[in-house]
A = this chain, B = another copy of it.
Amino acid sequence: MSKSEKDARPNPAQAPKQDVSPSAARPSARIAKGFRDIEAAELKGLNEMLSVIRGVYETYGFEALETPALEYTDALGKFLPDQERPNAGVFSFQDEDDQWMSLRYDLTAPLARYVAQNMQTLPKPFRRYAYGNVYRNEKPGPGRFRQFMQFDADTVGSDSIAADAEMCMLAADTLEALGVKRGDYVIKVNSRKVLDGLRDATEIDSDSRWLSVMRALDKFDRLGRDGVALLLGSGRKDESGDFTPGAGLDEQAIFRFLQLLTFREKIDDAFGETKFLFNPVITTSEPGGPLVPRSLTSTIAFGIRHYVEQVQQRDIRTLVRLESGLSEIENLGLLIHAAGYDDGRIVFDPSVVRGLEYYTGPVFEAELTFEVKGDDGKPVRFGSVGGGGRYDDLVSRFTGERVPATGFSIGVSRLQAALALIKDRKQTALGPVVVLVMDKPEIAAYQRLTQTLRDAGIRAEMYLGSSGMKAQMKYADKRNAPCVIIQGSDERAKGEVTIKDLIEGAKAAAAIKDNKEWKEQRPAQLAVAETQMVDEVRKIIARHQD
């Protein structure tokens, strides 16, 4: 770095003077591939949303933390598929000491670094929330960007199932606080242990085959029963002709998996009772009849146990992982019930598969269940807007000490897109009042009018370009100004201003036939004393707000 640059460091906007260069040497003005600019209306919605989420997370006792966007690559974790290509998946480079640095690809890896680094002084458990942009060096696509925002809550240092239950309740409360109606969303819970138990039960030995099975199960929501059946068997060709190889299970094994996954449907049919989904009470359906679980959680667990014992002819107690996962879910259900969330907000769903290689216990998925139009015009469920689960091995990477942790993460942009659909929010906000510049030498007078409006708390600006009246009106329209302030020499002499209501004006203009009539009527326009300006402008803004 040159000395001149160093000296100028305190100046925020520093760059050498640019000569107007010949066009051959000019760079093209383009945003980087996979990135996007976010404009005023969307930012307004985003800020409101972040503020609501912050409020809920703080009510739950989480406290804020912000870690930097850049970390040493090794501190983010050796998650890289290929150490020789540190730019695959994440954006990385070497610093001046030849150390690899990376842009964070999520908020959990930096949290693990923070906890390991500050272990001695942190309260235990440590409960923090964080939000910010994360970066992925992946192929961009429609709605799939290389920079996007996540909003996370994590409890580190607690192995209590209550910490997991709380994540589900937090997710439900957050969605409702943001305006998603009860019934328009569901928080699905599963456990990595249930999944592992299913592997034991189905006796799949090969790791790679089990991975294929898990990936197939993960697509249940999107591809349905038939699509998953293909992926469990010989493979599936999608609409574009791409072929995904299958897990190669035989017919019977496929049938068994589909049985396991669709317990919920079948139980709904059989019992017609999903009201107390997480109420772990087991009753008899008729006096003296066999014991029947009343809650869906218990019902599904009951179903899985029954299936293993009756259909597979195995003692469930030999399937240690399956049994442990099922009790974990039942204990979680108990807490959900105690807190009053067992009304369909939070449900057990053994088809939920998340971050296979990452989670160690319960996993959660927040889904919006209302329908939107898909790319093909057909209605589809909006789907996942967040998820999380228990990951007990992240901090040990640094310290060797196992630190139990659980977390939940919201995909902010995706959720914001969903909220826009629900609320049908206006995507254009009302702009500032524009004070027109009629006589350039009187610019100080216009400045004073502008300042009078601002002092009254009204968003206002004086037109700062050099164009005439027509262009100024166009500018005010483009800014979505509620009204413009006009003061020509006549008005100035009388101490008056003319206020033109642009929104009323546009309506009136549409109703008027010719220019002559327009000039005579001058609709939506009134002359008032300067001292009345603030009051009149306030009335106009009040008229057009919402």
User: Which residues of the partner chain B approach A354 to less than 8 Å between Cβ atoms?
Assistant: 11
Give complex CA distance A178, B211 in Å.
Answer: 55
Instruction: Tell me, yes or no, whether A288 is within 8 Å of chain B by CB.
Output: no
Q: Is B30 a contact of A75 with CB atoms below 8 Å?
A: yes
Instruction: Tell me, yes or no, whether A87 is within 8 Å of chain B by CB.
Output: yes
Minimal Cβ-Cβ distance residue in B for A169: B451
Give complex CA distance A96, B357 in Å.
Answer: 26
Give the copy number: 2
Instruction: Tell me, yes or no, whether A521 is within 8 Å of chain B by CB.
Output: no
User: Which residues of the partner chain B approach A133 to less than 8 Å between Cβ atoms?
Assistant: 69
User: For A23, A28, A59, which residue has the most chain B Cβ atoms within 10 angstroms?
Assistant: A59
Q: Is B64 a contact of A43 with CB atoms below 8 Å?
A: yes
Give complex CA distance A1, B444 in Å.
Answer: 61
Chain A interface size, under 10 / 10 to 19 / 20 to 34 / 35 or more? 35 or more
Other 9 A-B pairs with CB < 8 A, given A4-B356, A20-B400: A12-B152, A28-B75, A29-B116, A31-B67, A35-B71, A37-B66, A40-B63, A125-B464, A339-B448
Give complex CA distance A29, B21 in Å.
Answer: 47
Nearest-neighbour CB distance to chain B for A396, whole angstroms, equals 5
Interface string of A389-417 (1 = CB under 8 A from B): 00101101111101000010111000000
Give complex CA distance A101, B74 in Å.
Answer: 22
Q: Is B16 a contact of A147 with CB atoms below 8 Å?
A: no
- Interface stretch (choices A154-162, A251-259, A532-540): A154-162
Minimal Cβ-Cβ distance residue in B for A476: B123
Q: Is A68 a contact of B37 with CB atoms below 8 Å?
A: yes
User: Which residues of the partner chain B approach A465 to less than 8 Å between Cβ atoms?
Assistant: 124-125, 157-158, 160
Give complex CA distance A399, B28 in Å.
Answer: 8
Q: Is A12 a contact of B393 with CB atoms below 8 Å?
A: no
Give complex CA distance A54, B432 in Å.
Answer: 14
Instruction: Tell me, yes or no, whether A79 is within 8 Å of chain B by CB.
Output: yes
Give complex CA distance A136, B394 in Å.
Answer: 30
Closest 9 A-B residue pairs measured CB to CB? A61-B461, A61-B432, A338-B444, A29-B116, A93-B93, A15-B79, A158-B464, A12-B409, A35-B68
